[in-house]
Structure 1
């Protein structure tokens, strides 16, 4: 009779341990995130980009960014690490001490949809910018650091619709004039 109880208790213990490993992110430390691809994200003012045709835009030889678009105003360019796996999206910028003024991370999801981001283990505040599959900015959040000691379940969720999410230093969108409705040219590695 004792043997089945020990087996059940062992299974319960294993399930609890697995839940803790998943919830705390320890699985990422064991498996790692892999290498990030790099790219460039360029944002154009929507009020003029809509009138431009693809033929009016000159692209760099490797097509990683728009160099000039005769009917659009380039607002900003960001050098990004591209996060396109589940492990990379989970870690995000958590292990990053700081970003340069025009650096960030571009998160790539398999499909456009409603996504929620949190400020897990962050050292600095962020602008969290949701971008739809067609390159249109749908939502911008200005996320402060969570109060010290905030548990995982107490983190604020920043929601938006998109296939891509760009994280940059907080205040970047205001400084550059980037707004909802503006258009984003994405690096080929992200599309």
Structure 2
């Protein structure tokens, strides 16, 4: 290989590396420089008992459906009222891990399959002083994740196997 060909190869590999790094860091940089999103689409998410279809409760949820809003999540939110939540939308169902970055209050984290069936429920505590919220990791399987005020799932008797129906999404388990 000639010196010119080697130089071109190194330049192309370097450019690809810079582009991949930029893509990976985009949400971090966007939130760090511009701050968290201030406008969100909203949806109503209603929980139904997985056995008998009884309505268990509902929330008005902000929709986080892009990389920046999913990264920011509730990190810059002071609190959630009992009727609020955040509905995270991903392109497909997969194993996901959520962290408590920048959180100042406890929440419930509910992982939801593509059809709306609840696969995992976590009661996540906010980081204590001196603790890095990145180290508080909560994992589950799903296309969607719903974050709710602490113990909302307990107060409404919502558990694994129940169904979440989100207006405007193909969550059909309650049908």
Shift of 1:30: 2.6
| 2:76 pairs with 1:95 | yes
Counterpart position of 2:160: 180
CA distance in 2 between counterparts of 1:125 and 1:26 reads: 26
- Deviation per residue, 1:125-164 (Å, 9 max, x gap): 01000000011000000001122122365x1210000000
Q: CA RMSD in A?
A: 2.6
Secondary structure of 2:130 counterpart:
coil
CA distance in 1 between counterparts of 2:68 and 2:92 reads: 17
CA distance in 2 between counterparts of 1:152 and 1:176 reads: 27
CA distance in 2 between counterparts of 1:97 and 1:151 reads: 17
Counterpart position of 2:93: 112
Shift of 1:36: 1.1
What does 1:48-59 correspond to in 2, within 5 Å?
48=52
Counterpart position of 2:48: 44
Tell me whether 180-189 or 156-165 shows the greater mean CA deviation. 180-189
**Paired residues of 2:46 and 2:57 also in contact (CA < 8 A):** yes
Q: How many residues align?
A: 151
Secondary structure of 1:46 counterpart:
coil
Counterpart position of 2:32: 29
Structure 2 spans left out of the alignment, 5+ residues: 1-17
CA distance in 2 between counterparts of 1:163 and 1:101 reads: 24
**Paired residues of 1:127 and 1:141 also in contact (CA < 8 A):** yes
**Paired residues of 1:95 and 1:122 also in contact (CA < 8 A):** yes
Task: Please give the TM-score of this superposition, normalised by the length of structure 2.
Answer: 0.78
Shift of 1:25: 2.9
- Deviation per residue, 1:8-64 (Å, 9 max, x gap): xxxxxxx9xx89xx499343233553631011000100111xxxxxxxxxxxxxxxx
CA distance in 2 between counterparts of 1:168 and 1:37 reads: 17
**Paired residues of 1:131 and 1:166 also in contact (CA < 8 A):** yes
Task: Please give the TM-score of this superposition, normalised by the length of structure 1.
Answer: 0.71
